[in-house]
Structures are given as C-alpha cells and as structure tokens.
Amino acid sequence: MLYSKGTPLVESIADMLDQLGYAYRDYYQTGGIPRHHGIPTWAFQLSGISVLLVIIAMSFEWCIVRRKILVNRSKSGMTPAGAVRSKTHLIF
C-alpha cells in the first residue's frame, strides 16, 4: 500500500504489521528461500519478435522506397510536375 500524508498513524502501523506478518509467513513457508518474481519467458519472446518485425519493416521500407526514389530521380535534378508522388505509391 502506498502511504500518503493524510493516512492516520494507526492505519499505517496496522498495515505495516500486516505486511511484516505476510513476509514472516512467506519466509517460513518457503524455507528461507525467497520467491522468484521474474519476467515470464513468453514476454521476452514477444518483445524479441516485435523488435525483429520492426527491423524487417524498416529494411523493407528502405529497400523498396528509398532505392526507388534514388533510381527515379532525373540526372538534371528537374522533375516534371506529374512525376512527384508520395512514398506510399512507390511501394505498390
């Protein structure tokens, strides 16, 4: 429980004694070995898959969109008015 300035002293002491009792009981139930509260492996796998998908999407965007922009530029640097398109059109 989070304690704020408005919590009465009696409630705070009672809550601290409850927490101490829970910790004492937990200590003897586990034989003095602390419980493991860790991040599950599926969370690590999900974040790894997410990072991999972002990297694939960024490389896909770079290979298709950025390279087509470089190829489609004219040598003189002047582009006709109708040739200016958004990057989304270049993907499809």
Residue where the block lists tokens 């704020």: 4
pTM recorded for the entire structure: 0.44
Q: What is the pLDDT along the chain (92 residues), one digit of tens a residue?
A: 555 677 788 888 999 999 999 999 999 998 888 888 899 999 999 999 999 999 999 888 888 877 766 666 655 555 555 555 555 555 55
Closest CA to 18 of 35, 1, 33, 36: 1
- Domain ranges, ordered by start, for the chain: 9-35+56-91
For residues 90 and 69, the answer to whether their CB atoms sit within 8 Å is: yes
Residue where the block lists tokens 């009696």: 10
